[in-house]
Amino acid sequence: MTAAPCLMVQGTASGVGKSLLVAALCRIFARAGYRVAPFKAQNMSLNAAVTADGGEIGRAQAVQAAAAGVEPTLDMNPILVKPEADDRSQIVVRGRAVGSLRWREYSALAPVLWSVIADSLGRLRAAHDLVVIEGAGSPAEINLVVDLANMRVAALAEAPVLLVGDIDRGGVFAALIGTLALLAAEDRARVAGLIINRFRGDPSVLDPGLDLLSARTGVPILGVVPHLGEAPLPEEDSLGLDGIARDIGEPRVVVAVPRLPRIANFDDLEPLAAEPGVAVRFASRPETLADADVVVLPGSKTTVADLAWLRDRRLDGATASAARDGRVVIGICGGYQMLGEHLDDPDHVESDVASARGLGLLPVVTTFARTKTTRRVRGRVLPGGPLDAAAGADVDAYEIHCGETVVRGGAPVFALGERVGDAPAAVDGRRTGGVLGTYLHGCFSSGPLRRALLTAAAARRGVAPDPRWGTDALGDRYDRLADRVAAALDLDALGRLARRPLSVVTA
């Protein structure tokens, strides 16, 4: 069987929009009738998703798969690196955590990891018509001798490379020319097109610079993509928090989120941030929580350390004040654990601390364990509290956490009717008054749940709800994304590079 062709998107730096463009390309080629799969060999991110067989992959690859209209699999992101400290990361190989390693230890594994990457890419190419590959960081990191994500992958896949620069940051021409200048000759020859991303304003202003860029590099410019705003895609790392945070002049509802040092799965907040009239603010000071209608404690890769940071910043007291005032306080995963009475770690799985006092806002106790829970969850909202108006609504979500939480009171938040690898008829979370906690990442993706939450928060503020809350469909957003990117790129050139002509590009 002939292996499918590949097209690769690399960038001049982290956060230039590679993930978003890969999602758009997946949708564009899928709408043209091709079976498309995304691929990222090595992903460093604390935003993770769970596949149907209970393994972890980068959240961005799961969303890219959704944009392509296919089920996400472990092959789409065989190596996931989850930072735990400045010098150490948890390494997830084909969906399972294999250890917590420092850089030199990780580098020593490169030959083994490379064979995993090659096998995964081979399986994707055998099962699809096209694989759209995303690089990591920049291909011009000349201090690194181990490349598991960029030009070595391009060579393995025989993939033409699209090099992306972010003009919104400034210095895009220097970034593109400098990146090309630092590449080895054989790698530079793989770069088949340049894309300028996140442009605001009149594109004709760029014409002199584009002419010079093309002349200096000899690489064709395939398009200038506008700043897209409402991207339906999680950022890879905390650089993307500023993209999620959204403040508006006269918000109907204000959502405040403590900006934990090791915040994880912060893409949970993106559905709220996309709603009209909703301001999402990431908080490092207690006064940011003072006027919030909803406080969300997000997930964390280092829950005990981030709980200590919360106390150091006096955000614990601000969260307790919000609960006493009758405002909504929600904890997700690590945030749920923080809201409890205490967190026990007898085996020092999570930290060097054997036990830590929680915020005491929920009657639950968490004990950390070495086994990580990773599973998809399907359930429904239970009546009561700020989500009462969504009672009975379906929720498709996923769990990624270490340890078990024992409840000592309160009411459950979700009924779990279908749970991969587990018996049905379970429940999740706990609620007392307007304070609730849950292990269900992605629960805000439920339109009825968002509408109920925001309506309850608006009512307390004394403002009318927005009738559009909870009505946006992700499928529609993928199509709008594809439409806007397709209008900005040279589709004929892309079709030739991918060896997959583009004759149908609209929904």
Q: What is the 3-state secondary structure (H, E, C) of 426-446?
A: EEECEEECCEEEECCECHHHC
The catalytic position among 26, 128, 401, 441 is: 441
Helix 18-31 vs helix 491-498: crossing angle, to nearest 10? 80
The whole-angstrom separation of Cα 91 and Cα 108 is 13
End-to-end Cα spacing for the chain: 31
Is residue 282 within a helix (H) or strand (E), and if so which, with residue range? strand 278-283
**Cβ count within 10 A of residue 354:** 11
Q: Which residues on neighbouring strands pair with residue 83, listed in sequence order?
A: 89
The catalytic position among 333, 401, 402, 443 is: 333
**Cβ count within 10 A of residue 35:** 15
**E strands of 337-429, at which residues?**
342-344, 355-357, 364-381, 394-407, 414-419, 426-428
The whole-angstrom separation of Cα 342 and Cα 484 is 48
The whole-angstrom separation of Cα 283 and Cα 72 is 33
The whole-angstrom separation of Cα 273 and Cα 279 is 7
Closest CA to 263 of 502, 396, 81, 82: 82
Q: What is the 3-state secondary structure (H, E, C) of 296-340?
A: EECEECCHHHHHHHHHHCCHHHHHHHHHHCCCEEEEECHHHHHHC
The whole-angstrom separation of Cα 384 and Cα 433 is 8
Q: What token pair was written down for 45?
A: 């991110």
Catalytic-residue membership of 401: no
The whole-angstrom separation of Cα 401 and Cα 210 is 47
Catalytic-residue membership of 441: yes
**E strands of 51-204, at which residues?**
56-58, 79-85, 88-93, 96-101, 130-134, 161-166, 191-199
Residues forming the active site: 333, 441
